Structure 1
């Protein structure tokens, strides 16, 4: 139980990659708080997997501040912060209204910044911390048809790299995980969206995403969970400021 005594907060922790990371951390002994906007989803995940649900909307600063404070009062300082909550939507630039752009940035980048900012207080108090942002391969290269999403994930990787420089020499590290297409509900949503935009069948749209992963299959969310756990365990202290690809091959 290498993480016994640690308190982790995982945004978007009720489903998909967030839930896989939360489960991995809990299995290693951490007390895990999961956040999200859907009480029923959070409650079910909490009951089944022994996680602690807290309602939080990453697009609202006051909601983030309140949720982190409530989690801290209940379970102690947060020393593992996983900024996972995000949305993945594609839209051509000429069809991108400012409201769409801002919604992507507010969720994927602003939400991560605010979550990390609030959780860092506990890490500084404890003198130890691990910050993990769930970015994407789109944070390392351009994703066709999704300039806003690509920009948000590049910004997230940049945030992590900047913070890693600010805290060099401390026991707080900052890293980003960059998965390829992962077998979650988001892939199902994107299947329908890509099929509609490209005028192809849903099966063909799904194959497009699978073929984008170099090893020709979707990533299992548990693989991302295992990577997050590794970053928090003893032996990963010198892994800092990295954007780690989980994509089946070189991006």
Structure 2
């Protein structure tokens, strides 16, 4: 297991789903974890259960709020050594019914949400000659899917951002990578499955089977499996790994 004692990690979208699993894994490895998100109750629960030490209530699309939260958390717990940029969202619609505003909204959250955090934390990491940035992207950053063109566009941008930053920071001691999971068994996916099941009359098992039809393992990915990849990329063992888009996808890619 990676040993992260003495490291301070920021996990955005850390109150639930993949972000919560990542926070728990980093904490178990000894890191002091600060979770950032919009839902106070979920963040409080992460701290109460020992998955995080501190919390920041902020929207990653609000640079001023993010900056203020990071400044306070660093004053309390020391500078951030690790950024796990996990906050994001997906929306579905046929391309012809996808308004430009949906493209803007998802780009703002999925891409600029990472930019807003990285631009604050990266200078300090470079100055200390040490740091890890891990973006939680998606297989949608590596291939196309129908009816989610705005989401796919934003996730491709995330992978491009990671590759560019990795080149810029290659000689600084900072690594920048992406993790690209396939459909993951989170509460958000389960809520989507339930909604489709209710709308179509199909069983939830049938809906999930459709989700994973292109996954050779024929199952949803576990959040803990994504967290394990993030944990590795955050560790000293991954010091030579940068600019990669690591798939956790059951063979889909």
TM-score when normalising by structure 1: 0.94
CA distance in 2, matches of 1:179, 1:194: 21
CA distance in 2, matches of 1:158, 1:168: 15
For residue 121 of structure 2, the aligned residue among 98, 119, 122 is: 119
Q: Where does structure 2 lack aligned partners over 5 or more consecutive residues?
A: none
- The correspondence of residues 122-201 of structure 1 with structure 2, limited to 5 A, is 122-192=124-194, 194=196, 199=200, 201=202
CA distance in 2, matches of 1:142, 1:33: 33
CA distance in 1, matches of 2:106, 2:59: 14
8 Å Cα contact 1:88-1:186 kept in structure 2? no
Which residue is 1:45 aligned to?
46
Deviation at 1:192, TM superposition (A): 4.5
CA distance in 1, matches of 2:252, 2:241: 19
Q: CA 1:78/1:14 → structure 2, altered by over 3 Å: closer, same or farther?
A: same
Deviation at 1:20, TM superposition (A): 0.7
Which residue is 1:225 aligned to?
227
Deviation at 1:98, TM superposition (A): 2.1
TM-score when normalising by structure 2: 0.94
8 Å Cα contact 2:126-2:172 kept in structure 1? no
Answer with 95-104 or 73-82: which moved more.
95-104
For residue 69 of structure 1, the aligned residue among 56, 68, 71 is: 71
1:87 is paired with a residue of what secondary structure? Answer: coil
Deviation at 1:143, TM superposition (A): 1.3
Aligned length: 250
1:46 is paired with a residue of what secondary structure? Answer: helix
Deviation at 1:233, TM superposition (A): 1.7
Deviation at 1:210, TM superposition (A): 2.8
**What is the RMSD of the two structures over their aligned residues, measured on CA atoms?**
1.6
Q: For residues 133-186 of structure 1, what are the alpha-carbon distances to aligned partners after superposition, in whole Å with 9 as ceiling and x for unaligned?
A: 000000000011100000000000000000000011221000000000100022
Q: For residues 93-151 of structure 1, what are the alpha-carbon distances to aligned partners after superposition, in whole Å with 9 as ceiling and x for unaligned?
A: 11112222211111111101111111213312322000000000000000111000000
Q: CA 1:93/1:236 → structure 2, altered by over 3 Å: closer, same or farther?
A: same
CA distance in 2, matches of 1:123, 1:210: 38
Deviation at 1:50, TM superposition (A): 4.6
CA distance in 1, matches of 2:243, 2:195: 33
